[in-house]
Amino acid sequence: MAVFQPDSFIVSDVVPSPNVDDRAEGRAPDMILLHYTGMQTGEAALQRLCTRESKVSAHYVVFESGRIVQCVPEAKRAWHAGVSHWAGETDINSRSIGIEIVNPGHEFGYQDFPLRQTAAVISLCKSIFTRRGPISADRVLGHSDVAPSRKQDPGEKFPWELLSESGVGHWVRAAPLNLDGVTIHPGDHGEAVTRLQRTLRNYGYGIADSGKYDDATRDVVTAFQRHFRPARIDGVADPSTLLTLRALIETRPAPLV
């Protein structure tokens, strides 16, 4: 792909990726999807995102220093989400802008996200809101939210609360651990499991209400905890998890018109 003009003045460099095509049906992006690169260095990740053989790309890469590189114009579809699902939608690439955040990830020594990097992500998201119109807070998501059985990023160390305090994303303070109440475990089945699955699907997660706490349900609960209740990530729907989920449903922003 030829060099293009960056969409935002806060972009430091443009490094075009060949892995790009048109958004399906001319859709305008109404989601932001955050990833970590999951490689040992940011430069190695950038090279992979811009190599045709990898068949992956993202609109932006944000380095630890706060440097922002754009690889795909926002009007085009980048290939970052893979097989994914949110709120009944499966072509997440056509609906989203993908931001890769340089971090070695769980495989290579997962690290805290530097404040200057987080600040750059916040500034980038806000600049997207300015250009693209408002994006509902509950549609600023992690890769693990839309692909819970495959992905862990950006992971439990990502500062979602700080983003929310800055006007990016939906967040509530998690309910305390070790509360008394009903706990639903992997392997359980029945109406309580069905209600859990329906509530998770109501928020947007791709899950069927089978009434069985199967591996897919555990993966979704784990992804939910990784994003919204990172103090304990075990795939068990304990009272803290259930109350946090309920609070998110109750505080969910009204649909944009």
Return mean pLDDT, the chain: 96
Q: Taking residues 221-243, what's their average pLDDT? A: 98
- Cα–Cα distance between 162 and 169 in angstroms, integer? 9
Question: Is-above-0.85 flag for pTM?
Answer: yes
Helix %, strand %, coil % of the chain (to 5): 35, 15, 50
Instruction: Quote the tokens at residue 224.
Output: 């939910």
Q: Does the structure show a pLDDT above 70 at 257?
A: no
H helix or E strand, kind and range, residue 31: strand 31-36
Instruction: Quote the tokens at residue 228.
Output: 């919204």
Q: Taking residues 150-161, what's their average pLDDT? A: 98
User: All domains of the chain, ordered by start, with CATH?
Assistant: 13-165 (3.40.80.10), 191-250 (1.10.101.10)
Note the pLDDT of residue 3. Answer: 86
Note the pLDDT of residue 75. Answer: 96
Q: Does the structure show a pLDDT above 80 at 180?
A: yes
Note the pLDDT of residue 77. Answer: 98
Q: Which residues contact 236 (CB under 8 A, 6 or more apart)?
A: 183, 184, 185, 186, 221
The stretches of the chain forming alpha helices (DSSP H) are: 42-49, 92-95, 115-132, 143-146, 160-165, 191-203, 215-228, 239-250
- Cα–Cα distance between 42 and 108 in angstroms, integer? 12
| C-alpha dihedral sign at 233, 238, 243, 245 | positive
Q: Which residues contact 122 (CB under 8 A, 6 or more apart)?
A: 162, 163, 166, 168
- Residue from 64, 74, 89, 100 carrying the catalytic annotation: 100
Note the pLDDT of residue 59. Answer: 98
Note the pLDDT of residue 133. Answer: 84
Q: What is the DSSP letter of 86?
A: B
Q: Does the structure show a pLDDT above 80 at 85?
A: yes
Note the pLDDT of residue 204. Answer: 97
Name the residue with tokens 């590189």: 69
pLDDT digits (tens, 9 = 90+) for 21-36: 999 988 899 999 999 9
Q: Identify whether 100 is a catalytic site residue.
A: yes
pLDDT digits (tens, 9 = 90+) for 120-133: 999 999 999 999 88
CB 97 within 8 A of CB 143: no
- Cα–Cα distance between 244 and 59 in angstroms, integer? 31
